[in-house]
């Protein structure tokens, strides 16, 4: 009994020390929600690997992978149940990890040749109904239509009744106080094929959608989190059309509420745009992906921003959010060193490098 108590005190002291020395409050991971048959294993991974790393935020990309009751027609294949989610809620709560769900809103409503569940079931919500998805296996970029992912029309009178029902349901299941809406890589907005949106200022359309989502969440006291790429001028900065905007949505940065939390992702270079968002009044996190060297440099940059910031700016730098764009299975295997070498997820190495430095 004495040995158990001593071990507990040592671990408690160590955990306190790790969290106490971090110069920023958030140390996060954004990853796909596990399928039902991997929930137990992922919960164990959270407890044995993620929590000891100092992680205190976990964003799970759920999208259509939940057994929605409000709109069962929008369930994807093999969805998580409320019981599955409860297991993840409990393990996160026990380990002081904030758990947050994500559903991609506005953009990312298709992938290559496949429509997302929303446009599959409600094709009338499509911003670009005359742009057809290519045959399976035939998608290529670039293409004449500028098709990356489809968007829903933000001015369709019925779309928010549907998507907000899903948001409310997933927030309740996750017992969450914040929601990640995606909102990244929106190439189709204010399109000439849309009778409602065409002719509108694209920045105003984008800002209107962000504000509408934010206002809906605020009714229940919840925060909106989003990716920041559409708020960066990709042309003037030279950052490009993926990590920045080429269709003028960047001006929305001055139109959206300041309590929206920005997840500022940069994968090819450690661009210092967290300062842009903080200087505009937003709380911001820096988000690496699969380049461990960049992740470490981005983390050091976050420290420098905080160190050199004014009293007003300092609390806006929230910290780091590692992103993962492969499967939960492959991330866990890569992290544990058991993945097929040809399928190794480099974001696991990036997370290891990041979690090592955020505890220094």
Residue 21: pLDDT band with limits 50, 70, 90? low
Active-site residue 342, yes or no? no
DSSP notation for 62-125: -TT-B--SS-GGG--SSPBPHHHHHHHHHHHHHTT-EEEEEEEESS--EETTEE-HHHHH-GGG
CATH of domain 2-358: 3.20.20.80
Res 46 pLDDT > 50: yes
Share of the chain above pLDDT 70, in %: 94
Distance CA 353, CA 296 (A): 7
- Please compute the mean of the pLDDT values over residues 28-40 and round it to a whole number: 99
pLDDT of amino acid 360? 84
Summarised one tens digit per residue, pLDDT across range 209-257 is 999 999 999 999 999 999 999 999 999 999 999 999 999 999 999 999 9
**pLDDT value of residue 20:** 44
Per-residue pLDDT tens over the stretch 256-300: 999 999 999 999 999 999 999 999 999 999 999 999 999 999 999
Instruction: Map out the domains of the chain as residue ranges.
Output: 2-358
- pLDDT band at 149; cut points 50, 70, 90: very high
Annotated catalytic residue within 67, 127, 169, 185: 185
């Amino acid at each position: 009994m004495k040995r158990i108590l001593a071990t507990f005190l040592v671990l408690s002291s160590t955990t306190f020390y790790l969290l106490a020395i971090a110069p920023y409050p958030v140390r996060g991971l954004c990853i796909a929600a596990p399928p039902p048959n991997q929930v137990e294993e992922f919960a164990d991974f959270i407890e044995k690997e993620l929590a000891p790393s100092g992680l205190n935020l976990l964003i799970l990309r759920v999208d259509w992978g939940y057994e929605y009751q409000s709109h069962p027609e929008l369930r994807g294949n093999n969805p998580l149940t409320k019981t599955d989610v409860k297991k993840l809620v409990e393990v996160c709560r026990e380990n002081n990890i904030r758990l947050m769900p994500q559903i991609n809103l506005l953009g990312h409503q298709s992938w290559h040749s496949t429509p997302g569940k929303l446009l599959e079931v409600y094709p009338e919500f499509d911003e670009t109904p005359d742009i057809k998805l290519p045959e399976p296996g035939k998608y290529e970029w670039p293409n004449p239509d500028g098709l990356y992912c489809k968007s829903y029309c933000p001015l369709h009178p019925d779309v928010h009744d549907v998507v907000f029902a899903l948001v409310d349901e997933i927030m309740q299941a996750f017992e969450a106080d914040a929601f990640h809406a995606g909102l990244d890589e929106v190439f189709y907005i204010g399109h000439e094929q849309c009778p409602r949106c065409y002719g509108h200022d694209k920045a105003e359309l984008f800002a209107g959608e962000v504000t509408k989502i934010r206002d809906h969440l605020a009714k229940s006291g919840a925060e909106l989190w989003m990716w920041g790429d559409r708020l960066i001028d990709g042309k003037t900065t030279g950052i490009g059309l993926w990590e920045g905007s080429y269709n003028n949505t960047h001006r929305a940065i001055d139109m959206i509420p300041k309590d929206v939390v920005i997840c500022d992702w940069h994968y090819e270079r450690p661009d210092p745009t967290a300062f842009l968002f903080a200087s505009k009044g937003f709380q911001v996190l820096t988000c690496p992906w699969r380049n461990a060297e960049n992740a470490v440099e981005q983390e050091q940059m976050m420290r420098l921003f905080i160190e050199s910031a004014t009293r007003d700016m300092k609390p806006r730098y929230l910290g780091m959010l590692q992103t993962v764009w492969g499967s939960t299975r492959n991330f866990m295997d890569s992290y544990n060193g058991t993945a097929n070498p040809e399928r190794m997820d480099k974001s696991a190495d990036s997370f290891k490098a990041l979690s090592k430095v955020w505890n220094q």
